[in-house]
Structure 1
Amino acid sequence: MADTKEFKRSPSRFTDRITADGAQGRPVEAGRYRLVVSRACPWANRSLIARRLLGLESAVSLAVTDPIQDERSWRFTLDPDGRDPVLGIRYLSEAYLAREPGYTGGVSVPAIVDEPSGVLVSNDYRNIPADLATEWTALHRDGAPDLYPRALREEIDAVAEDVFRDVNNGVYKCGFARDQGAYDRAFTALFDRLDALSERLAARRYLVGSAITVADINLFVTLVRFDAVYHGHFKCNRNKLTEMPVLWAYARDLFQTPGFGDTVDFDHIKRHYYEVHREINPSGIVPAGPDLSGWTTPHGREALPGTPFGDGTPPPPPPEAERVPPLR
């Protein structure tokens, strides 16, 4: 019987796929779709990184929500007049309602919205990055890396599943556990997995193969938030990331790789978690720390086998409108 005291993540409800052949009714088409993200959200960060690495900025437009939600969830209060300038909506929930009138479920990011109709296409956060890597190849930039190589997919999927269960979702299981037993189980599984990942990465630069894959993207988005929010806010406090030498070096290596750190906004991350999760942090006070300067220090992992982009090349700098504030 399932433990009702354990955090349960709801599955994505809208999982339409956008494919090269359009066989499922949603064809790949430049300029047709808008990716809606919160820079605070790790699940959205996955899609942001994939879009950057593959050079899809001009093919898939980007909307960034306010990191602070209200009772109607993600909102476009960062934009003039509080409306997304392309979709013309104030709340992402409006695209959900355009897809399913009367919808009362959760509103999550990332979300892909059909620009002409304003209808939500997908909120399938687990599969959007792999689809961007495999179905959108005709629109990839020259030199785009293969983030989901066919020969490695079985291993990538296996590693990604372990990371999702124990790390990506594991920190939430710790933070939102409703009794000591549920918390203890999640805490143990989280750090057992981090220890296993440290061992795996001790002699290899990336999780699977000799270049970055979606498996690395999946792990990075939790590691980059670990000390800023998960260690204290979610009580994941056996160690800080900075106290786990292999994972800290691995995370810095990725952060300093074009396409990773340039998608991360620590201000959005901290304000979202500490201000929105009032059941965990009733005061809404956002802590001043931690010191972020370590993210740009040398990591030494260039000595390990592998190169970030395989046979590909780094992405160019992000468009001016999509740049995040520098570390302070």
Structure 2
Amino acid sequence: MAGEGAFERDRTYLTSRVTADGRDGWPVEPGRYRLVIARACPWANRAAIVRRLMGLEGVLSLGVAGPLHDERSWSFHLDPGGRDPVLGIERLREAFERREPGYPNGVTVPTIVDVPSGQAVTNDFERITLDLGSQWRAHQREGAPDLYPERWRDEIDEVADSVYRDVNDGVYQCGFARGQDAYDEAYARLWGRLDRLEERLRGRRYLVGDRITEADVRLFPTLVRFDAVYHGHFKCNRQKLTELPALWGYARDLFQTPGFGDTIDFAQIKAHYYVVHHAINPTGIVPRGPDPRGWLSPHGREALGGRPFGEGTPPRPPPVSEAVPPLV
């Protein structure tokens, strides 16, 4: 049982789906939808990775909200004029209001928006990545990997569920705890799971099977933010990621795999957490470190075998308009 003051995530989402058969009224159509993410957000990072791996850049456009937001929702403050150039809106909330006037729930990324109507279709982050890998198959690039192979689905689901509960959400349970007992419980769950993942990855390159799967896509966004944000800002400070040999090697292996590291902007990640979370960091000071260049150091994980994309191939480099700053 969670201690007093435990953080509870709002999981109320728009659950409509964009599908090949249009069962919810939103059929897959090239050019019709816009995937809105924020480089800062780990939940949105998943969708950005899968879109890259599937090669959907030409059929599903990308809107990028800036790292700063307030109670009115994510905004497009990095775009010219402070508006998304395709949707013409200043804040993502406008797309939710067009779908449901007076929308009462959280406005989150990733969100898929219907461009003709300007309406938010879904912000169900778990379903979005699965659907990009399955419902959009007719428009995927040649060589797109299968991230959710039928023969491993039960294991992928089991691993991904524990990663979500104890790690993805676990760092937030630590950071937003409002009582010592709640924090202590979350901290224990987080590090218990990270210890088990460290053990699991000592003898295998990926979490499930011999290739990258949905489980890896879900763990990576938390690991890549760990030392920069969660270790200090969220008080997850038993060890740094760089002090966990298997997890650090695994994370670097993924970072150096096309589709993963080329979605990461450390400056935006740090700006979001350290500036937006006033209750945790009231000064708004953004730390200079850690030095991100270690992410490019050799990892040696190839010796464990496996094929990153299975029978598939790596994606091409991202479009110039979507490139993230190089590590310096």
The question of a shared fold, defined as TM-score above 0.5 by the shorter chain, is answered with: yes
Distance in 1 (CA, whole Å) between partners of 2:63 and 2:179 is: 37
Aligned-partner SS, 1:127: helix
1:48 matched to 2:48: yes
Q: What's the CA shift for 1:291?
A: 1.1
- Deviation string, structure 1 residues 126-153 (Cα, Å, up to 9, x no partner): 1211111111111110000001111111
Q: Return the TM-score normalized by structure 1.
A: 0.98
Instruction: Count residues in correspondence.
Output: 328
1:24-103 superposed matches below 5 A = 24-103=24-103
In the other structure, the counterpart of 1:300 is 300
Structure 1 residue 260: deviation in Å? 0.1
Runs of 4+ in 1 over 4 A off after TM superposition: 1-4
Q: Is the 8 A contact 1:156 1:214 kept in 2?
A: yes
Residue equivalent to 1:107: 107
Question: d(CA) in 2 for partners of 1:71 and 1:145?
Answer: 38
How many Å apart are 1:275 and its aligned residue? 0.2
Q: Cα offset for 1:217?
A: 0.6
- Residue 253 of structure 2: aligned partner: 253
Amino acid at match of 1:186: A
Equivalent runs, 1:159-308 vs 2, <5 Å: 159-308=159-308
Q: Which residue number in structure 1 is paired with residue 151 of structure 2? A: 151
Q: Distance in 2 between matches of 1:75 and 1:50?
A: 23
Q: Secondary structure at the match of 1:232?
A: coil
Range that drifts further, 316-325 or 80-89: 80-89
User: What is the SS of the residue equivalent to 1:126?
Assistant: helix
CA RMSD of superposed structures (Å): 1.0
Contact in 2 for aligned 1:47/1:110 (Cα 8 Å) = yes
Code of the aligned partner of 1:236: C
User: SS in structure 1 opposite 2:125?
Assistant: coil
Q: Quick one: structure 1 residues 181 and 3, their matched pair in 2 at CA, closer, same or farther if it must change by over 3 Å?
A: closer
In the superposition, the TM-score normalised over structure 2's length comes to 0.98
Deviations 1:65-90 (A, max 9, x none): 11011331211111111111111111
Does structure 1 retain, via aligned residues, the 8 Å contact 2:50–2:133?
yes
Please state whether the residue corresponding to 2:89 is helix, strand or coil. Answer: coil
CA distance in 2, matches of 1:3, 1:230: 20
- Matched residues, percent identical? 66
TM-aligned CA distance change 1:187 to 1:3, over 3 Å: closer
Give the Cα separation in 2 of the matches to 1:67 and 1:46: 16
CA-CA distance at 1:18 after TM superposition: 1.1
Deviations 1:225-273, CA, capped at 9 Å, x for gaps? 0000000000000000000000000000000000000000000000000
Which is worse superposed, 161-170 or 70-79?
Answer: 70-79
Contact kept, 8 Å, 2:174 with 2:234, in 1: the verdict is yes
**Deviation, structure 1 residue 2:** 6.0
Is residue 12–residue 106 contact of structure 2 (8 Å, CA) maintained in 1? no
Distance 1:321 1:35 in 2: 15
User: How far is 1:305 from its partner?
Assistant: 2.3
- Offset at residue 4 of structure 1 (A): 4.8
> Which one-letter code corresponds to 1:246 in the other structure?
A
| Cα distance in 2 between the residues matched to 1:12 and 1:229 | 26
Gaps of 5+ in 2: none
Preserved contact between residue 12 and residue 125 of structure 1 (Cα < 8 Å) = no
Q: Which amino acid aligns with 1:298?
A: P
C-alpha displacement at 1:105, in angstroms?
Answer: 2.3
CA distance, structure 2, for counterparts of residue 56 and residue 214 of structure 1: 17
Letter in 1 for 2:17: R
Matching residue of 1:324 = 324
Cα deviations across residues 187-239 of structure 1 (Å, max 9, x unaligned)?
01001100101111111110011110110010000000000000000000000
For 1:270-305, what per-residue CA distance to the aligned partner results, in whole angstroms no more than 9, with x for missing partners?
000000001000000000100111100000000112
Comparing 264-273 with 124-133, greater Cα deviation is found at 124-133
Residue 313 of structure 1 is matched in structure 2 by 313
